[in-house]
Chain A
């Protein structure tokens, strides 16, 4: 018996992938060329699996801000804010995020994962209840686990099911936090947030919305799905990430509750992690300003999403959700999905391969994430490659 014995089934799966000559879970990017292209296996490849929704990773203004911050403030903070203090940028970014969302308080975390881990584990404790949408991201489940609260799941995007489970809690509902997402990353489907928030409010539960995949993409000002569905100011907490539309790494929580500040003294993932480095904070602040001033990027993204979705649907691919920044083609057969993924890469298109059990319904997914930076020619190429492969891989809907 060894520590590594538990990995044997994983090792077997890895050997299968290796024998197929494919490693979809760790593709080497030999050289980044732009927000939408990289050299992979010596070939210029379109990146359509990066979550780089607005293409800001190569935005000259963001790069300049990051470079200046590094020059004048250094490469890192070398510790947590509790120990090493807060840089001006940390405080400014928190203030700007709170103002962007129209909330009283904002708090920055070092990664998006830690934003959920740090918020949920500090907000809830044994005796409290966390009511999670069944399709919530792993970071939400992990934060829930760390909290020690009772975890109950409700059926994905189902307000009636949520209401049924809140009813069963009786008086405990006043110590219950409902957690949902704006756009779910696997299939790219949107939550019926207006209905979910209404149910949570009717029962007297708190509600947290994770806008990781919707910040910068939805809503009049780009705040996300809660804004686009008119319920942003009914949310108790909004969590998000810097690693998608904002083009960096990190995360945040904003809230109308001034008590959010107490998490700074109780949230272990916040307290015991080095704070985001100056370059990250500077580029994120610049990207946030860009989101507020450049709605044209959102429009470009949605136009590409509509066009790609319509094309793939007409080619016979089974898609997981209505048009959006994430377009997921669903496969019942893992080997066919793997072969399709490889064929796409061979034709200069990098997408994500998502394997069960991390996927809804046990499907294997080919997941495309679009960017405002994708050119019309790049979208055309992606559509053309899928078209070449449709006879072999498209399934009747």
Chain B
């Protein structure tokens, strides 16, 4: 399994509680516009991801991130 796939798997797990029942996630899913995450929820997602990966992930990566794939790539660059 590639590092990207590993992080993507963790992120899918973390996002599950925030998804509407019929929503699936792919690389192009927009975290705010499609999933509807609020700023507080994004913060919660980031803290949970840090725990799953046992790593520090600065919130500073978020302004450049819109989609699922962009977030995974940004995290990959940091851990």
Contact = CB atoms under 8 A, between A and B. Distances in A.
Contacts of B47: 134, 153-155, 161
A356 B37 CA distance: 12
Interface of A, helix, strand, loop or mixed by DSSP: mixed
Contacts of B70: none
Interface residues of A, number: 17
Contact of A357 (B40, B56, B57): B40
Interface in B23-76: 38-41, 43-44, 46-47, 50-51, 54-60
Contacts of B54: 168
Interface of B: 38-41, 43-44, 46-47, 50-51, 54-60
Given A150-B60, A356-B38, A357-B38, A168 B55 contact: yes
Interface in A132-187: 134, 150-155, 161, 164-165, 168-169
Contact of B56 (A155, A161, A165, A362): A165
A150 B38 CA distance: 21
Interface in A317-359: 356-357
Interface of A: 129, 134, 150-155, 161, 164-165, 168-169, 356-357, 360, 362
A357 B43 CA distance: 12
A191 B62 CA distance: 27
Contacts of B38: 356-357, 362
15 contacts: A134-B43, A134-B47, A151-B58, A152-B58, A152-B59, A153-B43, A153-B46, A153-B47, A153-B59, A164-B51, A168-B54, A357-B39, A360-B40, A362-B38, A362-B40
